[in-house]
Amino acid sequence: MAQDEGTANRTLERAAAILDAIGPGAATATELARRTGLSVSTAHRLALSMVTTGFLSRDSNGAFRPGERFMRSSLEHAAAPVIAELNRTTREASQLWIRRGSDRICLIALDGLHELRATLPVGFVLPLPEGSSGRLLAEDEDALADVRRQGWVESVGVRTPGIGSVSAPVVVDGTIIAAVCIAIPLARVHVSPGADHGAAAVAAAQRIAEAMSGR
């Protein structure tokens, strides 16, 4: 038992050292090893384990950052009033999604204000890359190209027949940390989900990003 406790303590100490080494920024496994004195293989193995538990996240370049367990409360606080205003102005279902592993989780969800509306509970989990937000959080190449061209990504009846959506990325320090989504019954779409509400989704995502960057 004492040996098991000692092993667990060493693991916790190493995990804490990795968190201290990252701080608010990002670091590769090699940089983590240099800052902590761990071997590259040990730093990499521990960092990957911390990604699966949400203590770290990993960007498209392989660098590790603080994970959603640290980001979540700050993100919710920054996003809640923005999503509420988006819901009031569009009168459509307004959501904020984050990534966890190979899934996405609905962090904030407000139902549309029409009788015919899209509904989804907070905490709902969907696999990546389903839906417009899923494509963004999975960093799908076509989705990122859409963002570069127009700022948003749309989905028309792909995940749920009769429902369309448009999503915009919340980008902080060059990393997508969340996706703002507006979900609309196709019966109420005039041109397309993106053409109708893309600009509103982009503006909301930018406001959240600005609030997060100022923390």
For position 101, which CATH number holds?
3.30.450.40
Do residues 122 and 82 both lie within one domain? yes
pLDDT in tens, 172-214: 989 999 999 999 999 999 999 999 999 999 999 999 999 998 7
In a domain, 111, yes or no: yes
Whether residues 170 and 151 fall in one domain = yes
- Find out whether the peptide bond into 66 is cis, omega within 30 degrees of 0: no
Residue ranges making up the domain that contains 112: 69-214
Is residue 5 in a domain?
no
- Does 31 share its domain with 81? no
**Rounded distance, CA 94 to CA 188, Å?**
15
H-type helices in 138-174, by residue range?
Answer: 141-150
DSSP for 165-198 reads EEEEEEEETTEEEEEEEEEEEGGG-SS-HHHHHH
Per-residue pLDDT in tens (0 to 9) along the chain, 215 residues: 444 666 778 888 999 999 888 865 688 999 999 999 999 999 999 999 998 887 888 887 889 987 777 667 789 999 999 999 999 999 999 999 999 889 999 999 999 999 998 888 998 999 999 999 999 999 999 999 999 999 999 999 888 899 999 999 999 989 999 999 999 999 999 999 999 999 999 999 999 999 998 75
Domain CATH code at residue 29:
1.10.10.10
Alpha-carbon span 165 to 178, nearest angstrom: 15
Split into its structural domains, the chain has a count of 2
As a whole number of Å, the end-to-end CA separation of the chain is: 43
Q: Using alpha carbons, select from 87, 57, 60 the residue that is nearest to residue 72.
A: 57
Q: Are residues 25 and 94 in the same domain?
A: no
